[in-house]
């Protein structure tokens, strides 16, 4: 999956929860390890508190905002990310700032057909349509 620095910051700060069950925390740790920010990347991110524990994310350079890196997630990790973003969607926690990043996760296909079929069935998506 190709992710921008913004996507990764949102995954680390908004998508992945602080608490979950044992299996999911294992997935969170694995995902966090893959998308963690380098010190140089961390210096490019400006997080401004906007209230209610939320932050506005901005970047010091255009490259920091638009640069893309590829990450390989297992189907279990992708399933977890999709579940978390779906939860945020159902809670009305999308915004103009997050919709592109969150949609990217929801639209990412699984590598295994069985996972994709299960997800489509769960979400009521007709694969033929």
pLDDT in tens, 6-61: 999 999 999 999 999 999 999 999 999 999 999 999 999 998 888 877 778 889 98
127 lies in a domain?
Answer: no
11 is in which domain, residue-wise? 1-121
Higher pLDDT: 122 or 79? It is 79
Question: Taking residues 68-93, what's their average pLDDT?
Answer: 96
**How far is it, in rounded angstroms, from Cα 45 to Cα 65?**
9
30 lies in a domain?
Answer: yes
126 lies in a domain?
Answer: no
Average pLDDT over the chain reads: 92
Residue 78 has pLDDT above 70, yes or no: yes
129 lies in a domain?
Answer: no
Residue 129 has pLDDT above 60, yes or no: no
Model confidence band, residue 63 (pLDDT cutoffs 50, 70, 90): confident
Number of domains in the chain: 1
Residue 46: in which H helix or E strand, if any?
strand 45-51
Burial 81-110, CB ≥16 within 10 A → b, else e: bbebbbebeeeeeeeeebeebbebbeeeeb
Structure tokens at 47: 């997080």
17 lies in a domain?
Answer: yes
Q: Identify the bridge partners of residue 58 per DSSP, sorted by sequence position.
A: 46
């Amino acid at each position: 999956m190709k992710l921008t620095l913004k996507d990764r910051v949102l995954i680390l700060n908004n998508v992945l929860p602080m608490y979950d069950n044992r299996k999911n925390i294992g997935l969170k740790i694995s995902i966090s390890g893959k998308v963690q920010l380098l010190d140089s990347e961390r210096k490019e991110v400006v997080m401004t508190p906007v209230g209610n524990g939320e932050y506005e994310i901005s970047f010091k350079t255009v490259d920091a905002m638009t640069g893309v890196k590829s990450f390989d997630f297992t189907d279990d990790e992708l399933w977890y990310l999709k579940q978390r973003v779906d939860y945020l969607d159902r809670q009305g926690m999308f915004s103009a700032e997050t919709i592109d990043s969150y949609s990217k996760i929801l639209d990412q296909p699984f590598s295994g057909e069985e996972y994709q079929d299960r997800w489509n069935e769960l979400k009521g998506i007709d694969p033929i349509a």
